[in-house]
């Protein structure tokens, strides 16, 4: 009977069940995710640049080497090492500020893993200028006593608002940088399998045609 | 196991590319009509295996399955691995297009080598073949690790240091790969013995 075709194949079915159980067991031991792509991202806060390095999806790169380069000339401005959370922070080099350099931040995570992040000058210069502008502002306050008090208040207010804003923006900056990291999605995986089967399917098609008309 | 872009020197990249072209040419000549589905399925399996993440060691590791590919494909593993790596580079940003040649060599060369090394054992059904299957999965990952370390010498990283690190990190994967290769071999022996007989006649 065609509807009971599996009756005679219980041996085969049993083997397939065994293998599936084994594969599920292996998959349960392991967690789905991505290994083997190291990424680094960076953002500026005041006169400091914070970087965070990880292996996708979420393992910090411990003791990875970080290099900060000038994007144009490739000159190494400074190097450092990530801590146990994969973080590394550094003061923005004076040279970079003076020449408005775009910074290329490179992570070498060992065993051939490498990640890069480009930090453009305009995304960190603002914070530096504020930080360097602050000391003269505070020393000039006594002198500025002659000027109307309203403007001083406004200046102080602006500074305070800027500071508070920056503090509030840090998590948002972090989130944004995280979002720019491209993650593998299920459609990528299924699409890839489709490509592979498609490529070999095409090949089989042409081979079968060649066989039919020699 | 995937080496990222921008790490290796042009000479190493070119060497890898040449070896890959030669290996792919040999592999393609060996693929006959009957083998196409087998190559396709194993290429897809290799493509997905890198996403199966094993949480051991300092870095999460993933399955490679190059031993299994060697066992079932021989030289045909080269084009199968090349296609899978190409799509991984394109879709997952694993490795990269310029490193495609080197990455193919580090994973496919052990597959081919293991095929020839353990062919003798696999021809004797029973315990010798089972040992051969396990060893095939185990050694292929080991050799891949050594090749990665070898490729990284040129970047100034000390070979012994990197090799030690790569090998230590991959010991669990070697054992898991050995077991998986063994199980799939036993499974095929039970379900599709004619497929194995075709290779190890």
Q: Domain coordinates of chain A in residue numbers? A: 38-127+151-180
Please give the CATH superfamily to which domain A38-127+151-180 belongs: Carboxypeptidase-like, regulatory domain (2.60.40.1120)
Residue B63 DSSP class? -
Nearest Cα residue to B67 out of B165, B164, B183, B153? B183
Mean pLDDT, 10 residues at a time, chain A of 214 residues: 54 67 58 58 83 78 86 86 88 85 85 82 74 51 53 80 81 75 76 88 84 63
CB contact under 8 A, A115 and B191: no
Total CB pairs under 8 A between chain A and B: 127
- Name the CA radius of gyration of chain B, rounded: 16
CB contact under 8 A, B83 and A27: no
Residue B175 pLDDT greater than 60, yes or no: yes
Chain A residues with CB under 8 Å of B31 CB are 203
Please tell me the predicted confidence (pLDDT) of residue B195.
79
Residue A45's SS3 state is strand
Q: Is A64 on the interface with B (CB under 8 A)?
A: no
CATH of domain B10-195: 1.10.1760.20
Q: What is the pTM of this model?
A: 0.73
**Could you report the per-residue pLDDT of B20-79, keeping only the tens digit for each?**
999 999 999 998 888 888 899 899 989 888 777 666 555 557 888 999 999 999 999 999
CB contact under 8 A, A112 and B152: yes
Task: Say how far apart CA A30 and CA B49 lie, in whole Å.
Answer: 11
Q: Is A35 on the interface with B (CB under 8 A)?
A: yes
Sheet strand arrangement including A113-119 = A76-81, A65-70, A103-110, A113-119
CB contact under 8 A, B55 and A31: yes
Chain B residues with CB under 8 Å of A189 CB are 48, 51, 91
B101: left (phi over 0), alpha (psi -120 to 50) or beta: alpha
Q: Average pLDDT of B154-181?
A: 81
Q: How confident is the model at residue B114 (pLDDT cuts 50, 70, 90)?
A: very high
Q: Who wins on pLDDT, A20 or B123?
A: B123
Listed in sequence order, the residues at least 6 apart from B9 whose beta carbon sits closer than 8 Å to its beta carbon are B154, B155
How deeply is B50 buried, as exposed, middle or buried, from its count of CB atoms within 10 A (0-12, 13-18, 19+)? Answer: buried
Please tell me the predicted confidence (pLDDT) of residue A7.
54
Note whether B93 and A182 are within 8 A (CB): yes
Alpha helices in chain A (DSSP H): 10-29, 94-99, 121-139, 149-180, 186-212
Average pLDDT of every residue of chain B: 87
Please tell me the predicted confidence (pLDDT) of residue A74.
82
* Tokens describing residue A91: 């003061």
* Tokens describing residue A67: 């290099």
Sign of CA dihedral B25, B31, B37, B42: negative
- Which ipTM did the prediction report? 0.73
Please tell me the predicted confidence (pLDDT) of residue A134.
52
Chain A residues with CB under 8 Å of B169 CB are 111
Alpha helices in chain B (DSSP H): 10-30, 36-49, 66-73, 77-92, 100-122, 127-153, 159-191, 193-199
Q: How confident is the model at residue B100 (pLDDT cuts 50, 70, 90)?
A: very high
**Could you report the per-residue pLDDT of A70-83, keeping only the tens digit for each?**
888 888 888 888 88
Q: Average pLDDT of B158-187?
A: 84
Nearest Cα residue to A116 out of A75, A157, A156, A68? A68
Residue B4 DSSP class? P
The CA distance from B173 to the nearest CA of chain A, in Å, is 11
CB contact under 8 A, A196 and B3: no
Pairing relationship of beta strands B61-62 and A38-45 according to DSSP bridges: unpaired
Residue B107 pLDDT greater than 90, yes or no: yes
Nearest Cα residue to B72 out of B169, B184, B158, B175? B184
Chain A residues with CB under 8 Å of B176 CB are 26
Domain ranges of chain B: 10-195
Please tell me the predicted confidence (pLDDT) of residue B124.
86
Q: Is B61 on the interface with A (CB under 8 A)?
A: yes
Task: Say how far apart CA B184 and CA B188 lie, in whole Å.
Answer: 6
CB contact under 8 A, A35 and B50: yes
Write phi, then psi, for B15 (nearest 5 degrees): -60, -45
């Amino acid at each position: 009977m065609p509807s009971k075709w599996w009756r005679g194949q219980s041996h085969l079915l049993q083997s397939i069940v065994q293998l599936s159980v084994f594969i599920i067991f292996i998959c349960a031991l392991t967690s789905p995710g991505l290994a083997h792509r190291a990424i680094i991202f960076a953002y500026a806060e005041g006169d400091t640049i914070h970087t965070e390095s990880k292996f996708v999806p979420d393992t910090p790169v411990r003791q990875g080497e970080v290099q900060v380069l000038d994007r144009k000339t490739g000159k190494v401005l400074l190097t450092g090492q990530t801590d146990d959370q994969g973080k590394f922070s550094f003061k923005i080099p004076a040279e970079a500020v003076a020449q408005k350099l775009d910074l290329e931040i490179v992570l070498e995570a060992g065993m051939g893993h490498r990640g890069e992040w480009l930090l453009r000058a305009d995304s960190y210069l603002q914070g530096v200028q504020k930080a360097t502008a602050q000391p003269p502002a505070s020393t000039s306050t006594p002198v500025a006593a002659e000027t109307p008090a309203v403007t001083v208040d406004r200046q102080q207010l602006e500074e305070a608002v800027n500071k508070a804003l920056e503090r509030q923006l840090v998590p948002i900056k972090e989130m944004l940088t995280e979002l720019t990291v491209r993650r593998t999605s299920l459609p990528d995986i299924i699409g890839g399998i489709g490509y592979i089967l498609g490529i070999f399917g095409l090949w089989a098609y042409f081979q079968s045609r060649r066989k039919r008309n020699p | 196991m995937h080496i990222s872009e921008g790490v290796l020197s042009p000479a190493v990249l070119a060497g890898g590319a040449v070896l890959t072209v030669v290996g792919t040419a040999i592999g393609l000549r060996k693929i006959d009509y009957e083998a196409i589905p087998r190559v396709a399925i194993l290429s897809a399996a290799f493509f997905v295996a890198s996403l199966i993440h094993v949480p051991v060691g300092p870095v999460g590791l993933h399955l490679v399955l190059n031993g299994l590919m060697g066992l079932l494909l021989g030289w045909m593993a080269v084009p199968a691995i090349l296609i899978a790596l190409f799509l991984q580079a394109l879709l997952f940003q694993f490795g990269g297009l310029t490193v495609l040649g080197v990455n193919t060599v580090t994973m496919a060369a052990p597959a081919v080598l293991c095929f020839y090394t353990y062919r003798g054992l696999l021809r004797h059904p029973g315990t010798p073949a089972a040992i051969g299957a396990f060893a095939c999965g185990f050694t292929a990952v080991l050799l891949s690790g050594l090749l990665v370390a070898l490729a990284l010498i040129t970047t100034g990283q000390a070979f012994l240091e990197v090799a030690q690190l790569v090998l230590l990190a991959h010991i669990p994967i070697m054992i898991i790969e050995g077991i998986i290769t063994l199980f799939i071999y036993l499974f095929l022996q039970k379900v599709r013995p004619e497929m194995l007989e075709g290779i190890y006649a």
